[in-house]
Amino acid sequence: MSRVLSKSLSRALDWLLPPVCPATGQDVDVHGTVAADYWASLRFIRRPFCGQCSMPFPHDMGEGMLCAACLDNPPRFNRGRAALIYDDASRKLILRFKHGDQLQAVRTLVPWLAEAGAELLAECDVIMPVPLHRWRLLSRRYNQSALLAKNLGVLAQKPTAFSTLKRIKSTPPQGYLKKDQRIANVKDAFAVKGDVTGKTVLLIDDVFTTGATLNACADALLAAGAKSVDVLAVARVVRDI
């Protein structure tokens, strides 16, 4: 009976809110899917890639091999994974989700995150979103990383903490800053307001660029006693590959 009711509700929802691609607005058959031509334009990150930051490699370098950037300046987090390469196609979806109130994109992105971060999800104790400062949250109305973390936690049956990691300093947007400026911008911007002692934390964000924000979050969590910190993003910026 419950399955019949669920199907009926689903059909009613499709009638009231017809499924559309969250990136293009085109009609699609099922909520949470994207248009076929848009799907063909996406570049998913697949092995081989750097074992720490998931930077794609042009060919297999061997299990656990790290990229030059991670060898020269190791990230503060243990492992980073991302579902997509950040390019014109993925940017379109992320920006509509982040700034365009296309919240239905959660249904699209969470399964991609779950696949890309399967090993991280299996080993984490708690999932946390990269937080927004309260003034940014007030102007934007929602934290896209928190929405992803919440739904990912439900899917993976893992606890999610939304108020343990806080952004205590309001910082300018990172978008147009160089790497060194990004690092300085988020220095001491985060604080931990709960107990993370001995826990493996999985941080969720939308875009992994230089890793400055993720490193600053990891620093705060490790200083508070976290055992380790992994990160999972929808997309990551890559060098030419």
CATH number at residue 192: 3.40.50
Please give the DSSP secondary-structure letter assigned to residue 157: T
pLDDT digits (tens, 9 = 90+) for 111-142: 999 999 999 999 999 999 999 988 777 677 89
In a domain, 21, yes or no: no
Residue 9 lies in a domain: no
In a domain, 65, yes or no: yes
Per-residue pLDDT at 54 exceeds 50:
yes
SS3 231: strand
pLDDT score, position 139: 73
Alpha-carbon span 228 to 199, nearest angstrom: 7
pTM score of the predicted model: 0.89
Give the domain range for residue 65. 42-236
Q: Is residue 13 part of a domain?
A: no
Residue 35 belongs to some domain of the structure:
no
Query: Pick from 125, 104, 130: which is nearest to 205 by CA?
Result: 130
In a domain? residue 182? yes
| 6 within some domain | no
Segment 205-221 shows an average pLDDT of: 95
Provide the domain count of the chain: 1
Asked whether residue 33 is domain-assigned, the answer is no
DSSP assignment string, 100-111: S--TTHHHHHHH
